[in-house]
């Protein structure tokens, strides 16, 4: 028996260095023997040399980490130590024939696997997570997505402890074994890369349903949960059926196995995973009812269930050649998910949400020390690159292609892509080529979106000539430097515009201008009067738009633009301007906001979004765009001042709206429309709390104790805590007493306290790290407390640096358990250069202290070293 040494430090892996695998694996037979102390894995790999590899004599290199190797045979012959080399990273077998059967036995210890990558214990059950590189922690294997194999998986375990045994594909045999044990055999008929492998074993509850595909095949749908939670699966099951139907109707994609399973687990590093036929979900993203989850959680169930289901085509049937191509599946799948959520609810609101998310989460990445294109050129830890850039900006890039080739052309291109690459590993070039070939389009310059980082800026000016009735838009594009990319070439992008007359009537409809040059002029003819331009309609490109609107033009856009995005954005621009100037809102803007609030035709959810100010993150970016530095506490106070001025001015209408909605809203209802109405109701209450805190606090307390609706409870608790009301402590106590046994609900309780915008919040959060509801070993608990704290200017950005030290101490401790999760909390430091001098210094000092820790994981080391790198 050989014990493997720990992994050594890793260098940059580069896209340019890609070479095809030396060996392919056609068939994989895995046998898992689950025992209390460890799991024994016997694997049998049918391999052959890859004809496409130039390395004709290369040895067989199998990735492997965190296991003990028990033995290896090649074609039945046992290898002796001289036949192979074993390191902490790989098993290399020196002489292997063209075709061979390699059999390997190893053991691993799921209970000790705190990294939650590979096979691990998630509370009472065992489950797997393999993307990106977790399969190598289960067995020795060429762990790369361009190796695709057929899998047959046998699982043996004690029946009482592990009555349910699941793996990908179809169940082909099951039965009893001696000693109270049993087994199950699963076979997946589709070739797949190993990152889509999954296994689950445990005592699980189940709900089942069925779906008949458009070609008439019946599919068994199952959702598994920890005991006692199956009554919280209703939204997910409904969403799954809707997603299956929608993908048939919108994109002609049908499900391909007889069974589709979802398992909800309570220890998971992110939202969910699209393993073939066996999706594994973070329970916070799939389980809940109106009395156990908030509306925001519930909205996510449909989104994430759809997203993972859509991966069955965009990701699984056609997968990625290498991990630089993550956006090939993720950008495309986010795009599909957004289209789905829009069609199921409100397309315009979904678009606003997507744009707001991009600005809040992705624009800051583009401005930070790890800015990367949607397809990065290199990485140290690939897990650090599952980012808003790869996902959300990636989705915007797909959307731009749809705008450029049209909706029908996009469908043709997507069909061609699936037809050409089904069953294979593809690249971003393959995707774009299919779009070009199906449409006779030239997307050569467009490919720069895949290679250049940074948020481009469109500087637009306009000229109207009354005599010739011509309107000219002068468009200049630029893109700020990002690490390793001091200069950028111009992007090809669709600029969607409309022209409004002085009253706000649409004069032109949507015009799509194709911007390709650093500077160019577009002339629009037959324009009857000097228009107000509605620029970047639908947010047609992921850029920052600069146009010198005056306030009166923005008020017309806010009141009348037929484009929902620009109506909303006009309000956002005005809010930003007044907030940063530290001014009260002028009467005309308040009147426009009142009109929105009272509009009879506008959906409540859209009203809530229009009446919500840009967040602190976005206001900070607006300061950077002006060449200033950020004092996050000052930004928060400025934002708060505008909130208060709105609340005071519109108090009567806010009360009326609040009462009207409260009177008619069913506390059990969580459909899209009810969620929108509830969000407007609670927004009104939050505003009113600024204007009349004494009047609102009792209402907030009543919501915490008097309703069963979790959204309202949390909204109430948030107001009490934020206002430091005397009612806060008893409400927190009562809440904790009621929900102590529900960790997912207690996460919200932790989060409310970590979000308190008041000096001294750190002390509370430090205290809560000792509360039984908190645990460093569970990513959801850490996100609820530390993640929320890291976004709180009063805590994280406390001027004495105490917030920075707290977060990096957590990073250091968490890194020893779970490097992927730890790296996430180092990322807020990537933008230390954007803050005022005092904060810059403290952030840098804290980073340097962490950099001195020798045992850092590759994941955290990459973030820290890139944050401190000099080439910015
Ligand atoms: N593909 C997974 C994400 C994997 C993250 C690995 N660190 C879930 C998703 O995007 O659908
Ligand atoms: Zn995904």
Q: Residues 153-167: pLDDT tens digits?
A: 999 999 999 999 999
Q: What is the pLDDT of residue 1?
A: 39
Q: Whose CA is nearest to atom 7 of ligand 1?
A: 383
- Identify the residue whose C-alpha is closest to ligand 1 atom 6: 131
Beta-carbon contacts of 99 under 8 Å, excluding residues fewer than 6 positions away, are 46, 47, 48, 49
CA of 827 to the centre of ligand 1 (A): 18
Q: What is the pTM of this model?
A: 0.98
Query: Which residue has its alpha carbon closest to ligand 1 atom 1?
Result: 273
pLDDT (tens digit per residue) in 383-404: 999 999 999 999 999 999 999 9
Reply yes or no on whether the pLDDT at 4 is more than 90: no
User: How far away, in angstroms, is 311 Cα from ligand 2 center?
Assistant: 7
Residue-wise pLDDT tens digits, 54-108: 999 999 999 999 999 999 999 999 999 999 999 999 999 999 999 999 999 999 9
> Taking Cα atoms as reference points, which of 24, 61, 22, 64 lies closest to residue 41?
64
Q: How does DSSP assign 470-486, residue by residue?
A: EEEEEEEEE---BTTBS
- pLDDT, position 7: 38
* Residue to mutate, 115, 334, 386, ligand 1, most ligand atoms under 8 Å from C-beta: 386
Of all residues in the chain, what percent carry a pLDDT higher than 70? 99
pLDDT tens, residue by residue, 625-652: 999 999 999 999 999 999 999 999 999 9
Which residue owns the Cα nearest ligand 1 atom 2?
273
Ligand having the closest approach to the CA of 270: 1
Q: Which atom of ligand 1 is nearest to the CA of 383?
A: 7
User: What whole-number percentage of the chain has pLDDT above 90?
Assistant: 98
Q: Tell me the ligand closest to 134's alpha carbon.
A: 1
Q: Ligand 2 centre from 182 Cα, in Å? A: 34
CA-315 nearest atom, ligand 1: 1
Q: Return the axis-axis angle of helices 587-598 and 632-649, rounded to nearest 10°.
A: 70
How confident is the model over 666-719, as pLDDT tens digits?
999 999 999 999 999 999 999 999 999 999 999 999 999 999 999 999 999 999
* pLDDT band, residue 9 (cuts 50/70/90): very low
Beta-carbon-side half-sphere exposure of residue 579 (alpha carbons within 13 Å): 27
Q: Is residue 748 scored above 90 in pLDDT?
A: yes
CA nearest ligand 1 atom 9, residue: 273
CA of 429 to the centre of ligand 1 (A): 21
List, chain by chain if needed, residues with CB within 6 Å of any ligand 1 atom: 131-132, 270, 272-274, 307-308, 311, 330, 383, 386
| The pLDDT value given to residue 833 | 97
Say if residue 871's pLDDT is above 60. no
Rounded distance from Cα 223 to ligand 2 centre (Å): 19
| Whether residue 5 has pLDDT greater than 70 | no
- List beta partners, residue 78: 73
Q: Which of 131, 274, 308, 337 is catalytic?
A: 308
Is residue 479 over pLDDT 90? Answer: yes
pLDDT of residue 870: 77
What b-and-e string marks burial along 828-862, b requiring 16 or more CB atoms within 10 Å of the CB?
bbbbbebbbeebeebbbebbeebeeeeebbbbbbb
Closest C-alpha to 129, from 265, 303, 316, 286? 265
In which residue are the tokens 């997912």 written? 744
Give the per-residue pLDDT at 137: 98
* Average pLDDT of the segment spanning 364-375: 98
Mean pLDDT of all residues in the chain? 97
- pLDDT of 872: 53
**Which residues have a Cβ under 8 Å from the Cβ of 347 and sit 6 or more positions away?**
none
The answer for residues whose C-beta is within 8 angstroms of residue 331's C-beta and 6 or more apart is: 374, 390, 391, 393, 394, 395, 397, 398
Measured from the alpha carbon of residue 334, the closest ligand is 2
Distance between Cα 135 and ligand 2 center (Å): 18
pLDDT tens for residues 491-522? 999 999 999 999 999 999 999 999 999 999 99
* Closest by Cα among 518, 559, 564, 565 to 541: 565
pLDDT attached to residue 37: 86
Residue 232 binned pLDDT confidence (cut-offs 50, 70, 90) = very high
Residue nearest to atom 8 of ligand 1 (CA): 273
Using the atom order of ligand 1, give the atom closest to the CA of residue 330.
Answer: 10
User: Which atom of ligand 1 is found nearest the CA of 382?
Assistant: 7
Of ligand 1's atoms, which has the minimum distance to the CA of residue 131? 6
Find the mean pLDDT for residues 10-23.
94
Find the mean pLDDT for residues 250-273: 98
β-strand partners of 314: 318
User: Any catalytic annotation for residue 308?
Assistant: yes
Give residue 3's pLDDT: 40
pLDDT at 6 over 90: no
Q: How many angstroms does the Cα of residue 333 sit away from the middle of ligand 2?
A: 6
């Amino acid at each position: 028996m050989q014990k493997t040494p720990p992994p050594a430090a890793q260098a940059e892996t580069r896209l340019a260095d890609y070479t095809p695998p030396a060996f392919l694996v056609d068939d994989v037979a895995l046998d898992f023997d689950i025992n209390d102390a460890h799991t024994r894995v016997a694997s049998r790999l049918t391999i052959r040399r890859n004809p496409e590899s130039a390395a004709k004599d290369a040895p067989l290199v199998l990735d492997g980490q965190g296991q003990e190797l028990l033995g290896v045979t090649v074609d039945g012959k046992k290898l002796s130590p001289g036949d192979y080399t074993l390191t902490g990273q790989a098993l290399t077998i020196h002489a292997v024939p063209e075709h061979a059967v390699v059999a390997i036995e190893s053991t691993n210890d799921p209970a000790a696997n705190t990294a939650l990558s590979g096979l691990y214990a998630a509370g009472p059950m065992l489950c797997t997570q393999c993307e990106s590189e977790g399969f190598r922690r289960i067995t020795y294997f060429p762990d790369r997505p361009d190796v695709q194999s057929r899998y047959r998986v046998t699982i043996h375990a004690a029946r009482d402890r592990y009555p349910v045994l699941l793996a990908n594909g179809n169940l082909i045999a099951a039965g009893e074994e001696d000693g109270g044990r049993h087994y199950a055999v699963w076979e997946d008929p589709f070739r797949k890369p190993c990152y889509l492998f999954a296994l689950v074993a445990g005592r699980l509850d189940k709900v089942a349903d069925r779906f008949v595909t458009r070609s008439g095949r019946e599919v068994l749908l199952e959702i598994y949960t920890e005991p006692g939670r199956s009554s919280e699966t209703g939204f997910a099951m409904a969403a799954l059926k809707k997603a299956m139907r929608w993908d048939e109707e919108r994109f002609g994609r049908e499900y391909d196995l007889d069974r589709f399973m979802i398992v909800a687990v309570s220890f998971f590093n992110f939202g969910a995973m699209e393993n073939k036929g066996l999706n594994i979900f973070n329970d916070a993203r799939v389980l809940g009812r109106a009395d156990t989850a908030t509306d925001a959680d519930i909205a996510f169930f449909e989104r994430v269930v759809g997203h993972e289901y859509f991966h069955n085509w965009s990701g699984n049937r056609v997968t990625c050649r290498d991990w630089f191509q993550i956006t090939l599946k993720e950008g495309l799948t986010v795009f599909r998910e957004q289209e789905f959520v829009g069609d199921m609810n409100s397309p315009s609101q979904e678009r606003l949400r997507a744009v707001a998310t991009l600005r809040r989460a992705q624009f800051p990445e583009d401005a930070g020390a790890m800015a990367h294109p949607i397809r990065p050129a290199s990485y140290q830890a690939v897990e650090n690159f599952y980012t808003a850039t790869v996902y959300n900006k990636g989705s915007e890039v797909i959307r731009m292609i749809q705008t450029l080739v049209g909706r029908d052309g996009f469908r043709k291109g997507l069909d061609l892509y699936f037809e050409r690459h089904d069953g294979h590993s593809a690249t971003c070039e393959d995707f774009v080529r299919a779009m070009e070939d199906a449409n006779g389009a030239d997307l050569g310059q467009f490919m720069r979106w895949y290679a250049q980082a940074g948020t481009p800026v469109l500087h637009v000016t306009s000229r109207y000539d009354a005599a010739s009735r011509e309107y000219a838009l002068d468009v200049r594009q630029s893109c700020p430097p990002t690490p390793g990319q001091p200069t950028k070439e111009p992007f090809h992008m669709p600029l969607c515009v409309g022209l409004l007359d002085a009253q706000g009537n649409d004069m032109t409809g949507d015009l799509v201008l194709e911007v390709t040059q650093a500077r160019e002029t577009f002339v629009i003819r037959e324009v009857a009067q000097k228009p107000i331009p509605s620029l970047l309609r639908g947010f047609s490109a992921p850029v920052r738009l600069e146009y010198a609107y005056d306030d009166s033009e923005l008020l017309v856009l806010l009141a009348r633009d037929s484009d929902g995005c620009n109506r909303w954005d006009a309000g956002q621009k005005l809010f930003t301007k007044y907030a940063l100037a530290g001014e009260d809102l002028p009467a005309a803007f308040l009147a426009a906001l009142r009109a929105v609030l009272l509009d009879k035709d506008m959906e409540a959810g859209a009203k809530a979004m229009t009446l919500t100010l840009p967040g602190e993150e976005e206001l900070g970016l607006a300061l950077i765009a002006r060449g200033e530095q950020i004092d996050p506490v000052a930004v928060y106070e400025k934002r708060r001042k505008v909130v208060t001025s709105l609340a005071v001015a519109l108090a009567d209408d806010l009360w009326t709206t609040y009462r009207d909605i409260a009177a008619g809203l069913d506390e059990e209802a969580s459909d899209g429309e009810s969620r929108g109405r509830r969000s407007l109701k609670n927004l009104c209450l939050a505003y009113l709390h600024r204007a009349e805190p004494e009047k609102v606090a009792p209402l907030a307390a009543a919501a915490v104790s008097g309703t069963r609706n979790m959204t309202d409870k949390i909204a109430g608790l948030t107001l009490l805590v934020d206002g430091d009301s005397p009612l806060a402590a008893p409400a927190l106590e009562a809440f904790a007493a009621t929900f102590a046994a529900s960790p997912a609900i207690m996460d919200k309780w932790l989060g409310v306290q970590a979000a308190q915008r008041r000096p001294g919040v750190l002390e509370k959060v430090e205290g809560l790290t000792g509360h039984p509801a908190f645990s460093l070993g569970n990513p959801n608990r850490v996100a609820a407390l530390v993640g929320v704290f890291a976004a709180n200017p009063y805590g994280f950005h406390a001027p004495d640096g105490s917030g920075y030290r707290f977060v990096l101490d957590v990073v250091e401790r968490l890194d020893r358990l779970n490097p992927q999760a730890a790296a996430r909390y180092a990322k807020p430091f990537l933008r230390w250069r954007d803050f005022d001098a005092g904060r810059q210094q403290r952030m840098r000092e804290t980073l340097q202290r962490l950099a001195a820790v020798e045992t850092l994981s590759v994941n955290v080391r990459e973030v820290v070293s890139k944050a401190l790198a000099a080439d910015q």
